[in-house]
């Protein structure tokens, strides 16, 4: 799922290409993508673009007249910038937003059709779509620590919960926790002042570094390689590969449709965290420490 760095670069390109342009039409190729009934597509079209911004992991197009178009990419949704009137792909196309400057093609690789488009006609209506998470890049250490104290979650879950922190997901939370040298199972409410500071700084450093990296990779071209797995990542998606910090093999926790990666040597003092599926299957033979794998 695209997260804060990827979404920021998307927004910068969208804003640069469409600010001041007119939204001419919205072409819907999937009957499931539009999740609202009011306002109508006809009401929203014909208005000028005031800008774009992010609401948690949602992309928000602001139009004059108090209208908004909210795009949620979910896991497999992606955007492309094409010439005006480019047809929506038949295979995975969801919709097209036509501006007088060009067309945004909205696609989704998954057949589950989780990505969505919502039309909103007021700031109050838009506020209802805000899950309430705070942006780590916009808050102080004190605010960050206070937010962790209010919930009884592991730091991994807290970082990825859009009701707590906005824009961070499974991929960048892995990178953040390695940078902070912290177990994903550490309880957020139990962090010491020093640990909270370390996590706060890791969040800001990793997100800023990756935003700059993706911005540089894209250059003047609209982003096309938006993915949760980047070769340059330290641990996310690097199961069994050497940790770039210490060289120990990266470990994995699999749950539901997500996978979390961590370095046992750097983050858990060599202790292997229980994988819900494998540890239950192996039971007594499940290795408890890094040296048990050797």
Domain total of the chain? 2
Q: Say whether both 186 and 236 belong to one domain.
A: yes
Q: Say whether both 185 and 272 belong to one domain.
A: yes
Of residues 293 and 223, more confidently modeled: 223
Span 76-99, pLDDT tens digits: 999 999 999 999 999 999 999 999
Contact 57, 169 (CB under 8 A): yes
Q: Say whether both 100 and 151 belong to one domain.
A: no
Return d(Cα 151, Cα 237) in angstroms, integer: 28
Q: Say whether both 107 and 199 belong to one domain.
A: no
pLDDT number for residue 277: 52
Q: Say whether both 111 and 14 belong to one domain.
A: yes
Q: Say whether both 121 and 88 belong to one domain.
A: yes
Confidence of residue 150 (pLDDT cuts 50, 70, 90): confident
Return d(Cα 229, Cα 251) in angstroms, integer: 16
pTM over 0.85: yes
Q: Say whether both 269 and 145 belong to one domain.
A: yes
Q: Say whether both 156 and 86 belong to one domain.
A: no
Residue 9, classified by CB atoms within 10 Å of its CB into exposed (0-12), middle (13-18) or buried (19+), is buried
pLDDT number for residue 282: 38
Span 21-57, pLDDT tens digits: 999 999 999 889 999 999 999 999 999 999 999 999 9
As a whole number, mean pLDDT of residues 206-218 equals 96
Taking all residues of the chain, what is their mean pLDDT, rounded to a whole number? 92
Q: What percent of the chain has pLDDT over 90?
A: 84
pLDDT number for residue 292: 46
As a whole number, mean pLDDT of residues 114-142 equals 97
Domain that holds residue 45: 4-127
Sign of the CA dihedral with 59 first, then 14, 76, and 148 last = negative
Q: Say whether both 122 and 148 belong to one domain.
A: no
**Does 291 have pLDDT greater than 70?**
no
pLDDT number for residue 288: 55
Return d(Cα 166, Cα 159) in angstroms, integer: 8
pLDDT number for residue 279: 43
Span 241-277, pLDDT tens digits: 999 999 999 999 987 667 899 999 999 999 999 865 5
Q: Say whether both 46 and 121 belong to one domain.
A: yes
Q: Say whether both 93 and 205 belong to one domain.
A: no
Return d(Cα 26, Cα 95) in angstroms, integer: 7
> Residue 149's domain is classified under what CATH number?
1.10.8.50
**Residue 99: C-alpha distances to residues 85, 86, 242 (Å):** 9, 11, 47
Domain C-terminal end among 127, 157, 177: 127
As a whole number, mean pLDDT of residues 271-284 equals 60
> Residue 34's domain is classified under what CATH number?
3.20.190.10
């Amino acid at each position: 799922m695209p997260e804060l760095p990827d979404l920021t670069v998307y927004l910068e390109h969208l804003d640069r290409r469409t600010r001041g342009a007119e939204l001419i039409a919205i072409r819907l190729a999937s009957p499931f993508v539009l999740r609202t009934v009011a306002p109508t597509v006809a009401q929203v079209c014909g208005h000028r673009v005031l800008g774009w911004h992010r609401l948690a992991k949602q992309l928000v197009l602001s139009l004059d007249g108090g209208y908004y178009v909210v795009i949620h990419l979910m896991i497999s949704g992606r955007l492309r910038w094409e010439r005006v009137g480019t047809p929506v792909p038949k295979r995975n196309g969801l919709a097209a937003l036509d501006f007088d400057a060009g067309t945004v093609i909205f696609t989704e690789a998954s057949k589950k059709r989780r990505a969505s488009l919502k039309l909103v006609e007021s700031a109050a209506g838009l506020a209802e779509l805000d899950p309430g998470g705070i942006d780590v890049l916009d808050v102080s250490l004190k605010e960050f620590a206070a937010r962790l104290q209010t919930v009884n979650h592991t730091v991994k879950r807290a970082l990825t919960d859009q009701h707590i922190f906005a824009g961070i997901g499974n991929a960048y939370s892995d990178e953040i926790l390695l940078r902070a040298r912290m177990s994903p199972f550490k309880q957020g409410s139990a962090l010491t002042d020093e640990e909270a500071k370390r996590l706060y700084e890791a969040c800001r450093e990793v997100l800023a570094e990756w935003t700059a990296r993706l911005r540089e990779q894209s250059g003047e071209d609209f982003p096309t390689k938006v993915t949760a797995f980047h070769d340059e990542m330290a641990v996310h998606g690097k199961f069994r590969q050497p940790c770039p910090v210490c060289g120990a093999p990266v470990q994995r926790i699999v749950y539901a449709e997500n996978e979390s990666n961590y370095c046992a040597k750097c983050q858990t003092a060599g202790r292997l965290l229980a994988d819900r599926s494998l540890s239950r299957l192996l039971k007594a033979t499940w290795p408890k420490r890094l040296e048990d794998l050797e």
